[in-house]
Amino acid sequence: MKLGLAAGAAGLIPTALKASSPGASASHKGAKLVLLGTKGGPRVGGSRSNPANALVVDDAVYVIDMGMGVTAQFVKAGLDYKQIRGLFISHLHSDHELEFGNLVYNDWVTNSLTKPLNAYGPVGIEEMIKNYWALNKDDINTRIADEGRVDPRDLLIGHDMPFTKHVVMQDDHVRVSALPTPHKPLQNFAYRFDTPYGSVVYSGDTSFYPPLAEFAKGADVLVHEVLYVPGVDALTKRVNGGEDFRNHIINAHTTTEQVGQIAAMAGVKKLVLSHFVPGDMSWITDDMWREGVAKHYKGEIVVGRDLQEIPLS
């Protein structure tokens, strides 16, 4: 779905995009999604980093979820701190927000954070920001005094969002909408980003939820979390978990077949699998992730990889 947010959008070629190096000032036109981290859950290890994504629209970057490793992945992707225009957190599980404060901190110490930056998420974001500044107050105050830096506490603005379907924000590059989805006991938001070059929907963490298909209707790209049941059985055995542990994971996420059903109902052009549960078992092949999905969805299926770029068309 194309959205005329900016004049002259027609005719631009998003596939020509190349990420800029940190601090670079080169100008690009187009849009792409960068998968910074594709492994579900808080465990660190394996070949995948924890959940994080970046949507690049022209010279603006919007970061969606900030699990452990997001700052290093952001740099590896060649993205520019100076271009960050908004931060979005789907829910308050640690694998989605644990490095939120540190990403902003590194934005600040590179002298890139010079104007207000808005962060959006469920109720608790504003308190989390206050707690982060309190945790690091000695370092921040010292650097302001010794290095002449601006005070970052005046620049990061948190927004606790109501748990309702609503338009979050809109600027010259993107309109962002949010949809509550079931991920008990926490509040999770799916996000839809409509740009002049196309639309991308990010599911966040959710169990099977048909209203998400309506929310994603006609999108160019749907990025959906995915669970592989035999992998969860192996995970349960690995951590000596019981039936309650297994059921919690199964009931809080979306199986491969269910993801295929959502994508088919939504009629999206491309489905990107991410937030793999489990995401650190090398014996689970790409074909295994695709198999259940393909029973229902006949469009393009991308088994996401860290630092993979998905252009919008």
Domain boundaries, given as residue ranges, for the chain:
29-311
pLDDT of amino acid 28: 77
Q: CA dist 166 to 141, 163, 176, Å?
A: 37, 9, 9
- Tokens at 3, concatenated: 């959205």
Candidate CATH numbers 3.60.15.10, 3.40.50.720, 3.90.1720.10, 3.30.930.10; the one for domain 29-311: 3.60.15.10
pLDDT of amino acid 3: 53
Rounded CA separation 246/229 (Å):
10
Q: What is the pLDDT of residues 91-113, one digit of tens each?
A: 999 999 999 999 999 999 999 99
pLDDT of amino acid 17: 29
> What pTM value is reported for the model?
0.90
Which residues of the chain are modeled with pLDDT < 70?
Answer: 1-27, 313
Q: What is the pLDDT of residues 135-175, one digit of tens each?
A: 999 999 999 999 999 999 999 999 999 999 999 999 999 99
Continuous H helices in the chain: 70-76, 94-97, 100-109, 125-135, 137-147, 210-215, 229-238, 243-252, 256-266, 286-294
Q: CA dist 122 to 126, 201, 202, 262, 310, Å?
A: 9, 18, 15, 24, 27
pLDDT of amino acid 219: 97
